[in-house]
Structure 1
Amino acid sequence: MEIFETALGWLVAAAFLAGLVDAVVGGGGLIQIPALFAAQPGVAPATLFGTNKFASVFGTANAAWRYARRVEMPWRTILPAAIAAFALSYAGAAAVAWLPKDAVRPLILILLIFSAVYTLLKKDFGQLHRPAHSGRRELAYAVLLGGVIGFYDGFFGPGTGSFLIFLFIRFFGFDFLHASAGSKVVNVATNLAALAYFLPAGHIIAALAVGMAVANVAGSITGTWLALKHGSGFIRIVFLVVVGVLIVKFAWDTFAG
């Protein structure tokens, strides 16, 4: 019991920090998943991933709701993207069987480096909210973006929120604040799709999942408040930090492995 309580305390703290970071720019999985594997080394990976998704979906949904109350949400873009992401995340999960993750790891590393360099060099990137599409073109781009991100999240996952923010800014003309808000809705969809597999299969540690979910929501409240208070400039800085951490992680996994 004492060991369980110690693990729960450690994971609750990790879930709070993950919820905070995820509410701003995504990337909470960088904190929460390693914490789960470190605290529960004897548990099957699928169960740890299911526990992570259960905790995350509540924090992400809370962040989406809080953004929607304060930011004019671009629903015509993000809802089709969310629906496509939900559908394609199943295809991404199925692709694991025939396409090894290690085969795409170098490509993800290159894309992360490109995102970081592009954001650094283009100083006005994501500073102004100027939606670039409308009508059928907006719908087509939204479905395409959501489908690609949904497939990636089902197949691999790390950095999904950060990729979403970059793509919303680059291809739809959003600023960092609106891109972060929109990414939460799409992330909720992909998390629900994952849970549709994990929960019926029993891949969850209920006691840990509930405690981490509460902490994740608390973190998301803090993160959303910071993002709304400080705006796009603050989100841009956190985005670059998180993408930098992702680059280091993927480089280590690619070359050290």
Structure 2
Amino acid sequence: MELLTVTFASLFAGFVDAIVGGGGLILVPALFSVYPTATPATLFGTNKGGAIWGTAWATYQFSRKVDMRWAALLPAAGAALVGSFAGAWAVTLISANGLRKALPIVLLAVLVYTLLRKDLGRQHAPRFSGRAEAAVAGALGAVIGFYDGFFGPGTGSFFVFAFVRLLGYDFLNASASAKLLNTATNASAIALFAFKGHVWWHIAAAMAVANVAGSLLGTRLALKHGAGFVRGVFILVVSALIAKTGWDALKL
């Protein structure tokens, strides 16, 4: 029954994650609820071990239908991987409590800006090209990748918003691009957790199958309904993140 519960949660998480990110908002609490005596590192590692497959599959599915700007995205994915490693190392040295308290405010600013700019992310009009685009995308990958390794909640949403706001992508292309970078940061985290022995591979394997199934459905819906649909889901996910992280901050 425990495995069935987390597998279903992984299915739903894969669905949400494929559209706009934020699957961890569903899967991590489910793991903590089902396995309350497990160490947090093991649950985080198991979450990554299952979720990376849905994210990678979504990247592949998007790449078949969306014009991915590989010249900028591949260096950005490399930067995100390195940034995630650096963030994971940094969290062993300093506390993330200050960031935990500030996160709801940052997410609220993202939500308000998105709601006020009703045309934001509806048209795909990249602002940069060539080396300039690669440099900006790489900087985003490094900074948000560091955040993912250091703390994590809302990483996918931050990637999407950054690609929309700073690079001029529409929400569909931003979501597709975010999946590639999220796959890189997840791979970095898995390497660290696996090295420390903090992944339950038998549970992660079942979650991975369900996560890919959810990802397949989410990707198809995003591709079918386009940027406007992804924008709507983005608003819902960020709102849920504000509620969750705000509650967590109040408990500190």
TM value normalised by structure 2: 0.98
Aligned letter for 2:131? Answer: R
Provide the residue aligned with 1:100 in structure 2: 95
Matches of 1:78 and 1:136, distance apart in 2: 11
Aligned letter for 1:125? Answer: L
Provide the residue aligned with 1:191 in structure 2: 186
Provide the residue aligned with 1:81 in structure 2: 76
What pairs up with 1:107-256 in 2 under 5 angstroms?
107-256=102-251
Offset of residue 177 of structure 1: 0.4
Aligned letter for 1:112? Answer: L
Structure 1 residue runs without a partner (length 5+): 1-5
Matches of 1:140 and 1:74, distance apart in 2: 13
Matches of 2:135 and 2:202, distance apart in 1: 42
Offset of residue 82 of structure 1: 0.7
Offset of residue 99 of structure 1: 2.3
Matches of 2:92 and 2:195, distance apart in 1: 20
Offset of residue 256 of structure 1: 3.5
Matches of 2:22 and 2:160, distance apart in 1: 11
Deviations 1:14-57 (A, max 9, x none): 00000000000000000001111111111111111111001011
Aligned letter for 1:91? Answer: A
Provide the residue aligned with 1:33 in structure 2: 28
Matches of 1:196 and 1:98, distance apart in 2: 19
What pairs up with 1:58-69 in 2 under 5 angstroms?
58-69=53-64
CA contact (8 A) 2:77 2:184 kept: yes
More moved, 52-61 vs 96-105: 96-105
CA contact (8 A) 2:54 2:213 kept: yes
Provide the residue aligned with 1:3 in structure 2: none
Matches of 1:37 and 1:255, distance apart in 2: 19
SS in 2 for 1:179: helix
Matches of 1:108 and 1:81, distance apart in 2: 23
Provide the residue aligned with 1:72 in structure 2: 67
Matches of 1:161 and 1:43, distance apart in 2: 26
CA contact (8 A) 2:72 2:135 kept: no
Matches of 1:98 and 1:31, distance apart in 2: 28
Matches of 1:106 and 1:200, distance apart in 2: 30
Matches of 1:136 and 1:48, distance apart in 2: 39
Matches of 1:107 and 1:143, distance apart in 2: 25
Give % identity: 54
Deviations 1:69-102 (A, max 9, x none): 1111121222121110001111101111232111
Alignment counterpart, residue 50 of structure 1, candidates 45, 48, 53: 45
- Which portions of structure 1, spanning 4 or more consecutive aligned residues, are displaced by more than 2 angstroms? none
More moved, 16-25 vs 191-200: 191-200
CA contact (8 A) 2:72 2:130 kept: no
- CA-atom RMSD in angstroms: 1.0
Matches of 1:119 and 1:162, distance apart in 2: 12
